[in-house]
Structure 1
Amino acid sequence: MLDRTLAPHFGAIEHIKLVEPKHIKLPNGSNLYYFNSGEQDLVRIEWVFGNVRFNADRPLLNSAVITMLTEGTSTLTASQIADKIDYYGAFLQAEYGYDNSVVTLYSLSKHLASTLPVIKDIITDSVFPESELQTYIRNQQQKLQVSLQKNDVVARRTFNKAIYGESLYGFAGDGADYQQLQRADMLAHFKQMYQPSNCDIFLAGKIDDEVLNLVTDAFGASWANGPESADISQPAVKSSNELFYFIEKPEALQSAIRIGTRSINRSHPDFPALQVLNTILGGYFGSRLMANIREDKGYTYGIGSGMSALKHGGALFIATEVGADVCRDALSEIEKEINRLKTELVPQEELDLVRNYMLGSLLGSLENVFSHADKFKNVYFSDLDYAYYDRYTNVVKAITPQDVLDLANKYLDFDKMYKVIVGKY
């Protein structure tokens, strides 16, 4: 019988083994990566397309096209698409990201012969019906109107624009931008972007020869490229010279705060170590910002810091909502915690706790083959390989208090950070 008076054995994480994919280069130029693992006859297939170069005159095309991709083809209506997917117990999702747009299908292997043709139709023959487009425009304008009443949404939009300027990452659209959407522009954008030379396909699950054959037959030689290749380069990011932004909301009970700076992305050698610093500052529930501003001062229900790793940039940021009457005090405490990291060595006990948390989180995130595929995509789209995760674990295990202090002085300067406050100040 288990003796519950004894604590479980604790073992240090030495090495994390990841499932590595196999690769097929399809004749149309698309890359296919597949992860064969698991016992259930379930597969996840992702078609990942690089977003076309940002055009300030038509800023919403990337997001509008992927969102409306399932709204109808020349042979299927939106309801028919949904009915076909639902009938086979499958799940279809189309999502926009800053760098890529993704179509995802979860399906039982035995139903792929029926579900893949629907996806093929969507990716090759979406028509963006005018009636559905007008509905999309109205819905998005209404959602935006509601969202702009929320201080945290306004703070995030203002912060991104300050950090990334008039770029794909910094764009904050308004209702008029949606009104400019034209079906002809969306069709042209669709034909340029959604073609095999601009697509990486990721399969994960129980992958056998039959599954591979179904996918390669549907999305290999029979899927042709268009006459115009996709331009997925992006304009250079130019940050604002203004560091402080205050948007007053006289009736606000809480003020939204967003503070941060342009930073490195995953491809930079310092990135793993900077993640350790970020975790200490505000990257988990036991962080210094939480201990001070939530637990000790009671200014907020939650505060955290994070790092965004994008293809063409990155940022380190702090986000919270605090009582409007303690906004200035909260800012002072945030500055204090940043300066502490620059002037005082982190106690070894605290660093060990963060180290174990980070390695345990990485290990715990690998719960199934889909998670392994996600870890691969992280490095793949950063032009890295699996050596990154070995380096990550080695850095986390070996980092010292002096390393953390040096990193804080290299990357954290409160006076040069962008500061956005929405509410009262």
Structure 2
Amino acid sequence: MTNLDRTLAPDFKAIDNINLIRPAHQKLDNGCNIFCFNSGDQELVRIEWIFGNLRFNPALPLLNMAVNTMLTEGTSTLSAAQIADKVDFYGAFLQVEYGYENSQVVLYSLNKHLHHTLPVIVDILTNSTFPEKELETFKRNQQQKLQVSLQKNDVVGRRNFNKAVYGDTIYGVGASFDNYKALQRDELVAHYKEQYQPSNCTIIISGKIEPETLTLITDTFDKGWVNGDKPADTTQPEIVPATELFYFTEKPEALQSAIRIGTPMINRSHPDFQQLQVLNTVLGGYFGSRLMANIREDKGYTYGIGSGLGSFKQAGSFFVATEVGADVCKPALAEIEKEINILKTELIPDEELSLVRNYMLGSLLGSLENVFSHADKFKSIYFAGLDYDYYDRYAATVKSVDSARLLELANKYFHFERFYKVIVGKY
């Protein structure tokens, strides 16, 4: 038996390449795209029906979210309870998911039960009725959740920051009580008919996909599923960031102040983005980051602080977010500014950069635990208009970017005096 010397850290092992499962693709006659990730031994598939959200209307900002959330609340033939019972009876799992740019219906089902579970999806995508009673319940529940959320400083800070950076767009407008009150059933139905049609749908199937499984799915969602008269308008308004840079929401009794600062930024389609991810990780992108070491470990101002890069199809942002003791809000801001300025004036030491490289590559590798996660990686690039060379370049970039280049990037993109600064609590 070999004795393990626990005083020595294990050696790093270089990650040479990351092998991603690539999908088979076909396009149905009705315009629906299907991508298949065939892997695994279990007789289980995950099927995702993903729809581009319609053009955002600031006067009715909740339509995309409300329609998606209420898809399972009843059809012309099934009540919400009957939909749930049918899915549960066959050991399947059904959920709806809403995002800024896409809305989706997700089904996990055993292959042998698909001929029972798929008709439920067909009914949801073609015959949802958005019953008045369920709509009123939805509005009431969402208003109660909003009331609770708006008591949290970090939620208010995030909403104010997004509004400043993204303006009156789907990324920037937060829900209000009046927005929920304004929801009308006829508007939900019209929105549903335009958005949930095959020419605006991408189906992603992952799991053990037998030939007969694929045939069943394609037959179900090809000939019987037709487009409406009006194509889905998924264009989005131009983003106009705010001119005001400082936002303070005072809460005199607050024990903590929420801080959210940052700026509009490039998204993942820009050639600098992956190198900027390395710089962001050094600053605040993992537990060993500089912001954590300074503001949590050294100063004790917070339990946690981080920075991030938001990337959407037509927008991006860089942000730093934390909650600190209300009495140390100004000193915390000064330390954040100091750490950003150090990145602009001093080269990152090789040892620190090596640690960040291994963390980032290890995180990517660790995130590929099953076929579903391979499909998720595909979605990130497909809906951003990118290809698999994005991940090849990612690994190469993380390995090769040097401290001199990161110093250049910090000076190119990080201008603290031009950052939006949002404070909620005391200042």
- Shorter-chain TM band: over 0.9
Q: Per the alignment, in what secondary structure is the counterpart of residue 229 of structure 2?
A: coil
- Runs of 4+ in structure 1 off by over 4 angstroms are 6-9
1:282 is aligned to 284
Give the aligned residue type for 2:80. Answer: A
The question of 1:252 aligning with 2:254 is answered yes
Pair 1:291 & 2:293 matched? yes
What's the counterpart of residue 202 of structure 1? Answer: 204
Distance 2:310 2:56 in 1: 19
Residue 93 (structure 2) aligned to one of 75, 87, 91? 91
In the TM superposition, residue 10 of structure 1 has moved relative to its aligned partner by: 3.8
Change (3 A) 1:8 1:351: closer
Match of 2:131 among 125, 129, 132: 129
Q: What is the SS of the residue equivalent to 2:157?
A: helix
CA distances 1:113-139 after superposition (whole Å, capped 9, x unpaired): 111110111011100000000000101
Structure 2 counterpart SS, 1:302:
strand
**Counterpart residue number, 1:385:** 387
* Corresponding residue for residue 365 of structure 2: 363
| Local SS of the residue matching 2:29 | coil
Letter in 1 for 2:122: K
Aligned residue type for 1:4: L
CA distance in 2, matches of 1:10, 1:248: 48
Q: Could you tell me which of 109, 113, 116 is aligned with 2:115?
A: 113
1:42 positional shift: 1.0
Residue 186 of structure 1: how far off its partner (Å): 0.3
Q: CA deviation at 1:11?
A: 2.2
Distance in 1 between residues matched to 2:417 and 2:26, nearest whole Å: 50
Separation in structure 2 between the aligned mates of residue 59 and residue 278 of structure 1, nearest angstrom: 32
CA deviation after TM superposition for structure 1 residue 145, in Å = 0.7
Amino acid corresponding to residue 295 of structure 2 in structure 1: I
Q: How many residues are paired up?
A: 425
Q: 1:225 to 1:3 in 2, by over 3 A?
A: farther
Give the equivalent residue in structure 1 for 2:141: 139
Equivalent residue number for residue 151 of structure 1: 153
1:400 maps to 402
Structure 2: how far apart are the matches of 1:248 and 1:8?
49
| Superposition deviation, residue 253 in structure 1 | 0.2
- Separation in 1 of the partners of 2:269 and 2:402? 22
- 1:346-361 map, 5 Å: 346-361=348-363
Q: Over aligned residues, Cα RMSD in angstroms?
A: 1.0
Which residue of structure 1 aligns with residue 50 of structure 2?
48
User: Which blocks of at least 5 consecutive residues in structure 1 are unaligned?
Assistant: none
Gaps of 5+ in 2: none
Deviation digits for residues 339-394 of structure 1 (CA, Å, limit 9, x no counterpart): 00000000000000000000000001000000100111111011111001011111
1:4 CA displacement: 2.9
What amino acid maps onto 2:275 in structure 1?
A: A
User: Which of 7-16 and 312-321 deviates more?
Assistant: 7-16
Amino acid at match of 1:147: S
Alpha-carbon separation, structure 1, partners of 2:89 and 2:275: 48
The separation in 1 between residues aligned to 2:11 and 2:361, in whole angstroms, is: 17
Question: Structure 2 counterpart of 1:360, which letter?
Answer: G
Give distance in 2, aligned partners of 1:4 and 1:187. Answer: 65
Point out the more displaced range, 50-59 or 330-339: 50-59
Q: CA deviation at 1:173?
A: 1.7
Residue among 16, 19, 22 paired with 1:20: 22
Which residue of structure 1 aligns with residue 320 of structure 2? 318
Q: Aligned partner of 2:35: which letter?
A: Y
Instruction: Tell me by how many angstroms 1:421 deviates.
Output: 0.2
In the alignment, the residues of structure 1 paired with residue 10 and residue 258 of structure 2 have an alpha-carbon distance, to the nearest angstrom, of: 42
Secondary structure of 2:170's partner?
A: coil
Of the candidates 54, 57, 60, which is equivalent to residue 58 of structure 1? Answer: 60
**Structure 1 stretch 84-93 or stretch 199-208: which is displaced more?**
84-93
Q: Tell me, in whole angstroms, the C-alpha distance in 1 between the residues paired with 2:364 and 2:3.
A: 29
